[in-house]
Structure 1
Amino acid sequence: MSASDPVLSAPTPGDSASVAVIGAGPAGLFAALRLAEAGRRVRVFDRMAAPARKFLMAGASGLNLTNAEPLDRFLDRYGPARAVLEPALRAFPPEALRRWAEALGQPCFTGSSGRVFPEAMKASPLLRAWLRRLTALGVRFSPRHDWLGWAGDALRFATPEGEVTCRPDATLLALGGASWSRLGSDGQWARFFSPGDLTGFRPSNCGFLPDWSEAESLRREGDILKTVTLRFDGATTQGDLTFTRHGVEGAPLYALSPRIRDAIARDGAAILRLDLRPGLDEAAIAARLGRVRPRESLANRLRKGAALTPPARAVLLAGVAPDGPLDVADPASLARRIKSAALRLVAPEPLDRAISTAGGLRFDALDEDFMLRDRPGVFAAGEMLDWEAPTGGYLLQACFSTGHAAAAAISAWLDRAS
């Protein structure tokens, strides 16, 4: 990397200032686009060989870009981080993200749940159009550049050819969280910050380990609980749960994961309540169970009287410990347990298996423009910041919106510094 590099060298009179973007995920690439559109000379550094690896993986089964629900309800999905994220989300809201994707030739549609998808469903067509636009604007890419922090005011990178440094006029850090490390987000950047500027990483939108033996977990591997209602700590979700050798997973569980994770950290375990037959009330289930001949086995009574599938019966029978033994002779007692089966969860799945992470760079380490308080000209955006949100389009939207906000702040800062 030579001193004559047009992105990294000091600008000559009449040149626009140079910006280094570290991290080629959605936040970094979108900030690079906005900066290039504003006339900045931009170079994107990433430790991986190709950009947006996690973005592509997230879109493999259908790219959920954002969500069309009313904005005030949308903002509530960010919980305690709503106040600090709200200006960025209002400046670049879900409808703006949809219009941007469609301007790149990727028409979108809204599903029945409010989730917004490109009609192509995959991430790759959108990413290809996005990268073509970046290239046309003169953005340059430096893959296989692993950021090593600072040497004074210079950025350090490890590359296959050895260590290099550069001194841009401004820097955006968009380094991601700490899950799916094989796709580039390993959280190792945290070692270059003061501990007081960080909140420890925690898994979010993750599965959990039930209080089952290893043998029981292997027996249950592949089981699916269809359309169950989950209740925990006053919150309710509904959908399918899947049992794997690693634990139990599924969208309704992911939505409760912050509450369950924090309860386990506090109490050592969490009792999740499952309504195994949400379409029937307790009285109807008891009546149906009462019509089954008493000499039938318990498994048959639950199958014939309550239409419980084998996975549902396994959860009911394995989860009796918190509530005491089942009263198999009393249809009303069985019905109550079916409507509130206990599943004891003892640990979240490992951080690297989580869809996203909580924790990261604290907002009080930044000013209102996403600039580090102790490093003028260095900004941060995306999942490396200390916020979390459920799946459903909220994760990507906040990455795009904070990238948009940071890019605007960088341009304004450079204008003031010139």
Structure 2
Amino acid sequence: MTDALIIGGGPAGLMAAEALADAGRQVTVADAKPSFGRKFLMAGKSGLNLTRDEPFDRFLASYPDMPPRLRAALDAFGPEDVQAWARDLGQEVFTGSTARVFPKTMKASPLLRAWLARLTEKGVTLQRRWRWTGWQDSAATFDTPDGQQTIDAQVTVLALGGASWARLGSDGQWAAMLVGQGVDLAPFQPSNAGIRIDWTPHMTRHFGAPLKNIRLTAGAETLRGEAMISARGLEGGGIYALTPALRGGADLILDLAPDRDAGDIASRIAKPRGKTSYTNHLRKVLKLEPQKIALLMEFAGPLSNFPEVLAQQIKALPIRHSGLRPLDEAISTAGGVPFDALDDGLMLRAMPGVFAAGEMLDWEAPTGGYLLTACLATGLHAGRAAAAHG
């Protein structure tokens, strides 16, 4: 018997655990993996983007179809609160040129170590290699290195992640357990995912090349951003932000020269080129990088000798693709527990005393601090509600 059980040791689960411990509850956190926060640590390998330092209305606009309960969680724990939380853990932060906020160390591991140490000091029990297998009557059951264990908790917070990056713990296997308890779930779908492209051989030498200073359009969504050419297609923040539209079947259109209009481009292409090759001429007069010219040749080749035609293709290049990368390769997922299945404290209506938080809820947001902030916020919201329950 324990006061409070948290299943899942990522940011949402740990935040719920701290809220419950601060309320004086006896807390156990169980995670299937040998260490906590594995996806959190993976996110920090390229520099841990904690949140955004931008006006709150602009911040909220990055969450499509904002559910009111998610809005309530972010109102209570937003970007400024995330920064204060990191500082309280001894991790100073700074804001980059794109309003992204990072720890000065740029790493996740010092922050996570400090957080786990603080939780331990507050009396939280941390159980590793405890894989949740469901319920036996009112008790949660686990496969552990010491055999099957059960915990009968007064309140439980589920923070089990979505259904991507299964090797890091977010395998979505919890879905069947909740359905068995009468919880209707939204289907899992990839979010923040790359697109699949079967390249012709001439693109091979451009794998890994960045596409900077481009405008991307999918359906009604248009943005300035970046992408990267990979062996499997196109990746990167500009693509990820358009995932909802691309998932819905919208075409992807690239503007390879967003700071020039078609007339200016055409006049530059029309300049005499002498003995210079056509591709070198484009590189010189338009400052187009080789990878952008390669994309033109891939999707609009052979290149038109009519400047006006080529200018239009540079401004609106259709990218033929085969859809999004598979679910497990996506950075995050849409789908999961719908907010209609939860009360205002994120408690499951079908399961009194059981709360849910983090990426297992049905919401999505682009990368760049939005995902982590909402995971922390919903974890805190669920933890506080659980502490006040019963």
Instruction: Report the TM-score range of the alignment, normalised by the length of the smaller protein.
Output: over 0.9
User: Does residue 197 in structure 1 map to residue 184 in structure 2?
Assistant: yes
Residues 33-56 of structure 1: CA distance to partner in whole angstroms, max 9, x if unpaired? 111111110000000011111111
1:409 to 361, 385, 389: 385
2:109 to 124, 127, 131: 124
Give the AA of the match of 2:187. G
Tell me the SS of whatever aligns to 1:177. coil
Tell me the SS of whatever aligns to 2:208. coil
- 2: CA distance between counterparts of 1:297 and 1:386? 52
* Bigger Rg, which one: 1
Give 5+ residue unaligned stretches, structure 1: 1-7, 10-17, 264-269
Alpha-carbon offset, residue 248 of structure 1: 0.8
Counterpart for residue 110 of structure 1: 95
> CA, structure 1 residues 93+307, in 2 after alignment: closer, same or farther (shift >3 Å)?
closer
Alpha-carbon offset, residue 220 of structure 1: 4.1
Counterpart for residue 352 of structure 2: 376
The answer on whether the counterparts of 2:67 and 2:339 sit within 8 Å (CA) in structure 1 is: no
User: Does residue 30 in structure 1 map to residue 10 in structure 2?
Assistant: no
The answer on whether the counterparts of 1:211 and 1:344 sit within 8 Å (CA) in structure 2 is: no
Alpha-carbon offset, residue 218 of structure 1: 4.1
Counterpart for residue 389 of structure 1: 365
The answer on whether the counterparts of 2:219 and 2:251 sit within 8 Å (CA) in structure 1 is: no
- 2: CA distance between counterparts of 1:148 and 1:311? 49
User: Does residue 276 in structure 1 map to residue 256 in structure 2?
Assistant: yes
Aligned pairs for 1:46-125 within 5 A: 46-125=31-110
- 1: CA distance between counterparts of 2:68 and 2:199? 40
> CA, structure 1 residues 314+217, in 2 after alignment: closer, same or farther (shift >3 Å)?
closer
Tell me the SS of whatever aligns to 1:163. strand
Q: Which range moved further: 364-373 or 136-145?
A: 364-373
Counterpart for residue 186 of structure 1: 171
1:239 to 205, 225, 243: 225
Residues 318-364 of structure 1: CA distance to partner in whole angstroms, max 9, x if unpaired? 213xxxx7672211221111111111222111111111111111112
Alpha-carbon offset, residue 202 of structure 1: 1.0
Tell me the SS of whatever aligns to 1:231. strand
Relative to the length of structure 1, the TM-score reads: 0.88
Residues 266-306 of structure 1: CA distance to partner in whole angstroms, max 9, x if unpaired? xxxx4311111223222222111111337754424433433
Tell me the SS of whatever aligns to 2:251. strand
Give the AA of the match of 1:404. L
The answer on whether the counterparts of 1:292 and 1:305 sit within 8 Å (CA) in structure 2 is: no
Give the AA of the match of 1:252. G
Counterpart for residue 306 of structure 1: 286
Give the AA of the match of 1:407. G
Residues 144-180 of structure 1: CA distance to partner in whole angstroms, max 9, x if unpaired? 0111111221101112332221211110000001111
Tell me the SS of whatever aligns to 2:238. helix
Q: Which range moved further: 47-56 or 236-245?
A: 236-245
> CA, structure 1 residues 29+340, in 2 after alignment: closer, same or farther (shift >3 Å)?
same
> CA, structure 1 residues 127+306, in 2 after alignment: closer, same or farther (shift >3 Å)?
same
- 2: CA distance between counterparts of 1:218 and 1:184? 33
Tell me the SS of whatever aligns to 2:224. strand
Counterpart for residue 14 of structure 1: none
2:376 to 400, 404, 413: 400
Aligned CA RMSD, in angstroms, stands at 1.9
- 2: CA distance between counterparts of 1:217 and 1:358? 32
Counterpart for residue 209 of structure 1: 196
Give the AA of the match of 1:272. L
Counterpart for residue 267 of structure 1: none
Give the AA of the match of 2:366. P
- 2: CA distance between counterparts of 1:253 and 1:159? 40
> CA, structure 1 residues 196+406, in 2 after alignment: closer, same or farther (shift >3 Å)?
closer
The answer on whether the counterparts of 2:164 and 2:333 sit within 8 Å (CA) in structure 1 is: yes
> CA, structure 1 residues 92+304, in 2 after alignment: closer, same or farther (shift >3 Å)?
closer
Kindly tell me the number of residue pairs found equivalent between the two proteins: 388
Give 5+ residue unaligned stretches, structure 2: none
Counterpart for residue 229 of structure 1: 215
